[in-house]
Amino acid sequence: MTDRSQISAAVRQLYNTYPFPPEPLLDEPPPGYNWRWHWQAAYNFCTGRKPQRDDVQILDAGCGTGVGTEYLVHLNPQAQVTGIDLSEEAINVARERCRRSRAQRVRLQNLSIYEVDQLETTFDYINCVGVLHHLPDPIAGIQALANRLKPGGLMHVFVYAELGRREIYLAQQALGLLQGGDRSNFKEGVRLGRQLFQALPETNRLVVEDKRRWSLENHRDANFADMYLHPQEVDYNIETLFELIDASGLSFVGFSNPAYWQVDRLIGSDDELMARSQQLPERDYYRLVELLDPELTHYEFFLSRPPLEQWHWQQDDILRQAIPEIHPCLQGWPSQSLFNYDYQIVTLSEAEFAFMQACEPGDTCIGDLCDRLGFNLAGVRSLLKQQLLLLTPAS
């Protein structure tokens, strides 16, 4: 057995022992949303416009127990969704999850990411959350997925960041030493790990960080095992992350948490430091931010296979002709105070609220709405920047 197959077998055994994630099964669609799993919202974030089609093919690569798969089905009612995972037990849970919540238009298959070429379909959207960093060969994994992405398609990726997971790494190493040679008994590993955290002083750095950041989820054994006992993990920094991205052959579209990557929140009080930061190449700029704020535990970002046309709406005449709609991932609409796509509170002015109300049912161009309401294009661009509207360009 090769090293790669040995590691894959160990990962399969972990998730057959503790199917992950261990979220409860519901007899109804899951509550809320993750906008990254909503095709229209993700496409709009990446391109600045509403997608031309909603009857797309979506792949959930490394779907586990189907938590993300279920959302992908319910949030995208015209899409065909495929979920694959290495663990037989996780796939069994995913099937039951989708059956109970009546998630249809979904195909679930026990398949590793390395074997994704066995699927006959190519995909408009690939979701790969929390998987690549557990592969023995992440580059081969991301390349296999990239080969199944259509031109103009998007890939959403989530991988671990090393700086914000320092204490996790240390605890993993310590537990490995205490377990000795046989680390395949994951239930025994959980028992020993719980014992370790009980024995350590309350002021111990590993204990302090576990209580501050992870204890709410780690009361479940599956979460504890996934965090501290995983047989394979690669933690990235900006430099190694972009080595992975470059190897994929895809284009980097952007991080899905842009607020974190704004250096002004860290050094904005110093004009010289800000000026120097703005002169850095893009990847050095990202590296600066993560070094100054090393709390980041993961990277979440979008890749694309060109051509992917992006709309910035800088020309007034083109913006005036576009048809606006309310963003599909808002909580509390219609109201002047609501949660945006990222569950952040937004308070609209009376003029903004009136304009957004007038955008429904989505059949009037921006120019006509602005002329009728006395609303200006600067206000429209502000709403667009906040991801409160979707635009369809004039045909």
Using DSSP, state whether 125 is helix, strand or coil. strand
Q: Averaged over 47-63, what is the pLDDT?
A: 98
Q: Please count the residues of the chain.
A: 395
**What's 69-99 look like in SS3?**
HHHHHHHCCCCEEEEEECCHHHHHHHHHHHH
Q: Averaged over 324-347, what is the pLDDT?
A: 97
Tell me which residue has tokens 């990962």. 11
Q: Which of these, 19, 99, 117, 5, lies nearest to 63 by C-alpha position?
A: 19
Q: Name the least confident of 2-11, 141-150, 196-205, 363-372.
A: 2-11
Instruction: Give the model's pLDDT for residue 118.
Output: 97
Q: Which of these, 272, 375, 273, 251, lies nearest to 324 by C-alpha position?
A: 375
pLDDT value at 322 more than 70: yes
Helix axes 166-179, 221-228, angle to 10 degrees: 90
Q: Averaged over 26-34, what is the pLDDT?
A: 96
pLDDT value at 88 more than 60: yes
Alpha helices in the chain (DSSP H): 3-17, 39-47, 67-75, 88-100, 138-146, 166-179, 186-199, 205-209, 215-218, 221-228, 238-248, 264-267, 271-278, 282-292, 316-321, 350-358, 366-373, 377-385
Q: How far is it, in rounded angstroms, from Cα 56 to Cα 305?
A: 15
Instruction: Give the model's pLDDT for residue 182.
Output: 78
On whether the CB atoms of residues 25 and 96 are closer than 8 A, the answer is: yes
Instruction: Give the model's pLDDT for residue 1.
Output: 55
| Confidence label for 348 from pLDDT (cuts 50, 70 and 90) | very high
Architecture of the CATH domain 3-162+235-304? 3-Layer(aba) Sandwich (3.40)
**pLDDT tens across 288-303, in order?**
999 999 999 999 999 9
Q: Write the CB contacts of 347 (distance below 8 Å, at least 6 apart in sequence).
A: 336, 337
Instruction: Give the model's pLDDT for residue 18.
Output: 98
φ, ψ of residue 89 in degrees (nearest 5): -70, -40
Instruction: Give the model's pLDDT for residue 30.
Output: 96
**pLDDT tens across 235-250, in order?**
999 999 999 999 999 9
Amino acid at 199: A
pLDDT value at 344 more than 60: yes
Cα→Cα distances 118→230, 260, 296, Å: 27, 38, 35
Tell me which residue has tokens 């509550």. 31
Q: Averaged over 67-77, what is the pLDDT?
A: 98
- What global pTM score does this model have? 0.97
Instruction: Give the model's pLDDT for residue 362.
Output: 87
On whether the CB atoms of residues 38 and 327 are closer than 8 A, the answer is: no
| Confidence label for 178 from pLDDT (cuts 50, 70 and 90) | very high
Classify the C-alpha dihedral 244-342-84-21 as positive or negative: positive
pLDDT value at 183 more than 90: no
Q: What percent of the chain has pLDDT over 90?
A: 96
The structural domains of the chain, with segments of one domain joined by +, span 3-162+235-304, 164-228, 316-392
In this structure, what DSSP letter does residue 211 have?
A: I
Amino acid at 51: P
Alpha carbons within 13 A on the beta-carbon side of 150: 12
Q: How far is it, in rounded angstroms, from Cα 133 to Cα 139?
A: 10
Q: What is the mean pLDDT of the chain?
A: 97
